[in-house]
């Protein structure tokens, strides 16, 4: 079929998976007919049944190496080697871009891409995938690891579908990211971890996503993070980047930002802006976030690139594209970025990475009609400059010389390449993902590895039902 299409077909072919938005692949002929008869002119059916779903794997080349955006067909469930034997551990994965992971001795088996656990069909597919893996691998989980976020279906599944006798381990999202990179690079000693993504529940109850940790496979300490920003409307701010733009400007200028001569303000309904300002003033449905992904969304909106999204990470991806498509500067000047000491009671945090001074400079550039691609390049360089400076300070203070990079933001070439170069120039050995995704598709591996490491302290592990002793998570 592919030969026929490529030899005789049109010059350009766009291929996409056969599924309704947000649902798993259709693997049944009748289901496909029902789902797509309103949009498809023709169907090519086959009498060979598909017994199990597997989305296409997606890779890209960064720094001369192939890296996974999605590890699925053709690669899953090929095992990922572990440095030591682990018990049978199930890593339940994240809420978005979900995969699950089972360990057996010195191997970890990461499932194919399951997807966002937001509807019944995908959740059913999740359960079917676990049952299938348990059968073909002959594994019955002895320990179950899950995310801290109780709203994730994967977390509820971990709590509801296993006996109380089976230890359950809650693993912080960004710790799991860091450990997934440690596992595939065979790192056991403490490392500095820069974890940049869109969302993950932190141990302080806020939404994290711009983090520098010092991590082992068992524990972590948060050493630095992006300055917290309000996220008006919670998840609505993910779908509407203009809300994050308003949050950034409100943080930088207060309500006076409404008087700025910015196209973003002129093009956004004044009542909507006023409503969002009231939410932030009264702190109603306005969680705090240190997310690098949300900050990228805000800048995308400020530059007039994207005000509403129709797919995940759209605003940030388009911001990256603008910065790479014209007159690319290999080492652009960054905006101001301050490293501040936190207020007392920050729980081990030593540095706040504050880009708000740079946002004020960016607004000046926007008002001065500086080309958008130049502003995009300078913004990306600002993130690299702030995080690399903080990471080098943390590494020097603790005598650590290894740093791991994880989280979906590192799919961004502008950030990935510049961050690697800056850290290497500072004398650190940099470790990245190549066998599992940097994004949430690798979370399950990190969860399973954390739980497996903790299980070595078996008496305390069982006594605490899978939770590490308090002193184990507060080392400095």
Q: What is the CATH number of the domain that holds 231?
A: 3.30.420.40
Check whether residue 461 and residue 425 sit in a common domain. Answer: no
Give pLDDT, residue 21.
84
Are 175 and 91 a contacting pair, CB within 8 Å?
no
Q: Is residue 131 part of a domain?
A: yes
**Which residue spans within 370-418 are E strands per DSSP?**
402-406
Q: Residue 468 above 70 pLDDT? A: no
Print the domain residue range for 332: 226-431
List pLDDT tens digits, range 56-74.
999 999 999 999 999 999 9
Per residue in 286-338, pLDDT (tens digit) is 999 999 999 999 999 999 999 999 999 999 999 999 999 766 666 678 999 99
Between 14 and 463, the more confident residue is 14
> Residue 200 falls within a domain, yes or no?
no
Same domain, 318 and 449: no
Predicted confidence band of residue 347 (pLDDT cuts 50, 70, 90): confident
Shared domain for 441 and 383, answered yes or no, is no
Can you spell out the DSSP letters for 23-92? SPPP-SHHHHHHHHTTT-S-----SS---S--PPPEEEEETTEEEEEE--TTTTTPPEEEEEEE-SEEE-
| Nearest by Cα to 214 from 64, 398, 369 | 398
Among 44-48, 53-57, 343-347, the range of highest mean pLDDT: 53-57
Determine, yes or no, domain membership for 459: yes
Give the CB-side neighbour count of residue 340, counting CA atoms within 13 A.
Answer: 16
Q: What total of structural domains would you count in the chain?
A: 3
Residues 288 and 411 in one domain: yes
Query: In CATH, what number is assigned to the domain containing residue 177?
Result: 3.30.420.360
Q: How far is it, in rounded angstroms, from Cα 268 to Cα 259?
A: 13
Q: What is the dihedral of CA 359, 364, 370, 375, to 10 degrees?
A: -10
Do 41 and 134 lie in one domain? The reply is no
CA 292-73-321 angle, to 5 degrees, is 35
Say if residue 34 is in the same domain as residue 163: no
Choose between 30 and 380: higher pLDDT.
Answer: 380
Residues 289 and 169 in one domain: no
Are residues 254 and 372 both part of a single domain?
Answer: yes
Task: Please check whether residues 376 and 467 belong to one and the same domain.
Answer: no
Task: Give the residue from 361, 381, 362, 382 showing the smallest Cα distance to 372.
Answer: 362
pLDDT score recorded for residue 9? 78
> Do 350 and 459 share a domain, yes or no?
no
The reply to whether 194 falls in a domain is: no
Q: What is the pLDDT of residue 459?
A: 57
- Residue whose entry in the numeric block shows the structure tokens 């309904």: 269
pLDDT in tens, 231-256: 999 999 999 999 999 999 999 999 99
**Residue 411: inside a domain:** yes
The candidate with the shortest Cα–Cα distance to 91, out of 160, 40, 143, 35, is: 143
Distance between CA atoms of 108 and 428, rounded to whole angstroms? Answer: 28
Torsion of CA 347, 179, 201, 96, to 10 degrees: 170
């Amino acid at each position: 079929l592919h030969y026929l299409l490529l030899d005789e077909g049109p010059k350009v072919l766009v291929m996409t998976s056969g599924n309704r938005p947000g649902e798993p692949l259709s693997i049944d002929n009748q289901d496909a007919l029902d789902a797509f008869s309103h949009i498809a002119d023709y169907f090519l059916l086959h009498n060979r049944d598909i017994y199990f779903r597997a989305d296409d794997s997606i890779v890209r080349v960064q720094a001369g190496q192939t890296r996974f955006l999605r590890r699925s067909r053709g690669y899953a469930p090929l095992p990922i080697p572990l440095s030591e034997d682990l018990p049978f551990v199930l890593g339940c994965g994240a809420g978005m871009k979900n995969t699950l992971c089972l360990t057996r001795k010195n191997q970890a088996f990461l499932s194919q891409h399951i997807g966002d656990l937001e509807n019944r069909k995908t959740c059913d597919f999740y359960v079917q995938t676990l049952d299938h893996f348990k059968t073909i691998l002959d594994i019955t989980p002895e320990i179950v690891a899950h995310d801290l976020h109780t709203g994730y279906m994967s977390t509820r599944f971990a709590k509801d579908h296993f006996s109380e006798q089976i230890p359950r381990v809650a693993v912080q999202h960004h710790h799991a990211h860091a450990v997934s990179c440690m596992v595939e690079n065979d790192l056991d000693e403490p490392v500095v971890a820069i974890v940049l993504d869109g969302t993950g529940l932190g141990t302080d109850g806020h939404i994290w996503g711009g983090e520098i940790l010092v991590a082992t496979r068992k524990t972590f300490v948060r050493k630095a993070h992006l300055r917290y920003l309000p996220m008006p409307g919670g998840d609505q701010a993910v779908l509407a980047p203009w809300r994050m733009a308003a949050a950034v400007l409100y943080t930088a200028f207060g309500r006076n930002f409404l008087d700025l001569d910015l196209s973003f303000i002129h093009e956004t309904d004044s009542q909507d802006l006023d409503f969002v300002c009231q939410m932030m003033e009264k702190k109603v449905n306005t969680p705090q976030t240190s997310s690098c992904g949300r900050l990228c969304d805000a800048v995308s909106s400020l530059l007039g690139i994207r005000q509403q999204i129709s797919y995940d990470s759209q605003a940030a991806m388009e911001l990256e594209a603008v910065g790479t498509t014209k007159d690319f500067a290999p080492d652009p000047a960054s905006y101001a970025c301050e490293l501040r000491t936190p207020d007392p009671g920050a729980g081990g945090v030593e540095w706040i990475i504050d880009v708000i001074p740079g946002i004020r400079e960016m607004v000046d550039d926007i008002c001065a009609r500086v080309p958008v691609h130049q502003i995009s390049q300078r913004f990306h360089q600002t993130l690299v400059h702030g995080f690399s400076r903080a990471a080098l300070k943390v590494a020097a203070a603790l005598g650590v010389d290894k740093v791991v990079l994880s989280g979906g933001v590192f799919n961004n070439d502008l950030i990935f390449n510049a961050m690697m170069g800056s850290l290497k120039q500072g004398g650190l050995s940099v470790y990245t993902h190549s066998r599992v995704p940097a994004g949430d598709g690798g979370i399950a591996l990190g969860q399973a590895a954390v739980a497996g490491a903790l299980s070595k302290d078996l008496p305390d592990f069982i006594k605490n039902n899978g939770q590490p002793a308090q002193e184990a998570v507060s080392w400095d």
